Amino acid sequence: MSQPGLSLDFSKLEMRFDPFPIGIAAPVFAPSLYAELLENFPDTSLFEEHRTLGKPGAKLTLSEKSNPSRYHAFVRGTPAWRAFHREIKSDAFPYAIMDVLRRHHVDLGYERVSTLHRTIKVLRNRSFDYLVRNPRLRARFEFSILRGDGGHLPPHTDAPSKVATLILSMARPGEWNPAHGGGTDMLKPRDVARAYNETNETADFEEMQVVHTYPFEPNQAIVFVKTYDSWHSVAPIRAGDPNVLRRTLTINIERF
């Protein structure tokens, strides 16, 4: 059963904790919703190449940060994604994910607090320190594609503002050939001096050892916490065909 207020089901979430908290849940969508979202996944013509945005890796992206006009037009015009977007952007969603993590021994200390409560705290203390110590959370999502002819994401740890990330696979059953790769690699630096990477610098694949690989499979969610050493990547796709697409939905939970 899904978390109350969520269309995502984390009842089968299995966590690892070393070197950073990360887990996988599948299936995460109800079959009918998953089929509808897949059927209406945005066309590649709407996406932007990472390299044209000055970002590392070989990736196509459609997001509210990178190409907002196309992103919002697509979401508004596609009922299934509009409803899912409304859920992700709700005030409740990021705290529901915090509750999921808390039930799996990962308590990040974030609690949903009303605007009135926050205002009272500020007025009583005559200081904004409470707001600094207790930032609010919000969520956003982006559509992502890695092409089969070498699409990849280099080793990185995610931006400092992020609290947690969800990677949702968007593939039909039997559509993806495991021989193409496409899994999400959990990494550890070969040189311990590279472990502390709060600012999200990228590294070369050769500098990392793979601790665990989560294969790219339909209807799953990989959930992990941003830490100073949350190194992860996707190695170059080995299909040799640009029309083979690794489609995902990335949900970022951030402080603001």
pTM of the complete model: 0.91
Section 81-96 average pLDDT: 96
* Alpha carbon of residue 130 to chain centroid: 28
Q: Is residue 115 part of a domain?
A: no
User: Per-residue confidence at 54, pLDDT binned at 50, 70, 90?
Assistant: confident
Check residue 116 and give its pLDDT: 65
User: What type of residue is 67?
Assistant: N
Tell me the pLDDT tens digit for each residue of 18-45.
999 999 999 999 999 999 999 999 999 9
Whole-number Cα distances in Å, 214 to 16, 65, 126: 11, 27, 48
- DSSP code per residue over 147-181: ETBT-BEEEE---TTEEEEEEEE---TTTS-GGG-
Whole-number Cα distances in Å, 180 to 13, 210, 242: 25, 17, 12
Q: Is the peptide bond before 27 cis (omega within 30 degrees of 0)?
A: yes
Q: Is residue 129 part of a domain?
A: no
As a whole number, the mean pLDDT across the chain is 93
Q: Is residue 119 part of a domain?
A: no
Whether 209 has a pLDDT exceeding 50, the answer reads yes
Q: What CATH number is given to the structural domain containing 211?
A: 2.60.120.620
Query: Is pLDDT larger for residue 57 or for residue 112?
Result: 57
Tell me the residue range of the domain where 164 lies. Answer: 14-109+136-255
Section 139-146 average pLDDT: 97
Whether 78 has a pLDDT exceeding 70, the answer reads yes
Check residue 108 and give its pLDDT: 95
Q: Is residue 118 part of a domain?
A: no
Apex 152 CA angle, 151 and 157, nearest 5: 160
Section 123-145 average pLDDT: 80
Q: Is residue 117 part of a domain?
A: no
Provide the token pair at 40: 């209406």
Using alpha carbons, select from 89, 214, 226, 234 the residue that is nearest to residue 165: 226
Our count of domains for the chain comes to 1
